[in-house]
């Protein structure tokens, strides 16, 4: 299968594999406990809280614009190798601020990685800024306000990650209203580690997508509403199985959501933590959920149309998909 891929859900700090984290730690004179590394490609963790600790530990060695450039570049080049033409990278200003980086330096590093990857592979990418629930409502409002006042041209969207159950989405309404009013596309983590009620509440925000959202399956009326409104789910099936949101691919609701008319895309979430990649997620969709190549091409089109890129970029990407159809890439 050789088809164009697109990814709307991947956390930038969560893309760096152990080999790169070791390299950045050495560059910055830092030590990372060897126990968190399972292989050069994959991290070791035992439960969701341990995953979060390992993630924060690894992210803490990404310290400079050059580091962010390298993380971005290496991830995008790997995606392009698998056939990806577009990626939206979820970036956390809070993680950057924790190591003393300003928004300007943070985004400059990511943008350099995007530019270099485009030059070398043709892949396109944009940035989704995410607030972290656990840091509180005011911190989220401040992040949204900063983007509204001085936005990097590659920043196209606003997201909210972190502890879903402890910090329901409606608490962050002000941040979302600021982000949406400034022209940012909006999505929100919901329906992953909290149930259908978190999805229903998320839909009261000005969002056109849901990060995960798959536990909407617990409420058939909610599934019908999502389908009717054309809300697009950023599905990450391997992540969901790895973090025990669902016990197996067989019990994951992706096929049921599809049959109910829900639009969806694929994402790897945090690839070296879950042993996956965007190409791997497309393979999972084919091999474990039974989607055919034509359906997966449609999923890539859905991702481009649901992306927060500008209309000109979307048109270029859709033309690339059509060109691959015409070539008969299989």
pTM exceeds 0.85, yes or no: yes
- 192 assigned to active site: yes
Among 19-28, 32-41, 140-149, name the one with the lowest average pLDDT.
32-41
pLDDT for res 49:
85
- At 2, is the pLDDT very low, low, confident or very high (cuts 50, 70, 90)? confident
**Catalytic-labelled residue, pool 124, 192, 234, 281:** 192
Q: Domain coordinates of the chain in residue numbers?
A: 5-327
Name which of 115, 14, 30, 19 is nearest 64 in CA terms: 30
CATH code for 5-327? 3.20.20.140
- Quick one: average pLDDT of 200-214? 98
């Amino acid at each position: 299968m050789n088809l164009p891929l697109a990814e709307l859900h991947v956390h930038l700090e969560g893309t760096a594999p152990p080999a790169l984290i070791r390299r950045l730690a050495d560059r910055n004179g830092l030590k990372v406990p060897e126990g968190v590394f399972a292989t050069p490609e994959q991290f070791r963790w035992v439960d969701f809280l341990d995953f979060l600790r390992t993630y924060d530990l690894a992210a803490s060695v990404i310290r400079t614009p050059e580091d962010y450039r390298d993380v971005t570049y290496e991830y995008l080049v790997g995606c392009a190798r698998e056939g990806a033409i577009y990626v939206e990278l979820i970036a956390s200003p809070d993680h950057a601020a924790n190591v003393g980086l300003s928004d300007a330096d943070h985004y400059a590093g990511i943008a350099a990685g995007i530019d270099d990857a485009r030059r070398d592979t043709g892949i396109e990418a944009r940035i989704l800024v995410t607030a972290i629930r656990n840091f509180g409502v005011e911190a989220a409002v401040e992040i949204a306000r900063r983007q509204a006042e001085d936005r990097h041209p590659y920043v196209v969207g606003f997201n909210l990650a972190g502890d879903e159950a402890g910090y329901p989405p409606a608490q962050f309404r002000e941040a979302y209203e600021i982000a949406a009013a400034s022209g940012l596309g909006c999505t929100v983590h919901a329906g992953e580690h909290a149930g259908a009620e978190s999805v229903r509440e998320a839909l009261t925000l000005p969002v056109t997508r849901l990060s995960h959202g798959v536990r909407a399956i617990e409420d058939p009326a909610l599934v019908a509403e999502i389908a009717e409104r054309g809300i697009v789910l950023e599905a990450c099936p391997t992540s969901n199985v790895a973090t025990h949101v669902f016990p197996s691919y067989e019990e994951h609701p992706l096929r049921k959501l599809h049959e109910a008319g829900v639009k969806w895309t694929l994402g790897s979430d945090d690839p070296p933590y879950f042993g996956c990649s965007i190409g791997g997620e497309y393979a999972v969709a084919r091999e474990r959920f039974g989607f055919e190549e034509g359906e997966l091409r449609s999923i890539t089109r859905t991702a481009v149309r649901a992306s927060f890129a500008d209309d000109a970029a979307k048109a270029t990407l859709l033309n690339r998909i059509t060109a691959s159809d015409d070539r008969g890439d299989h």
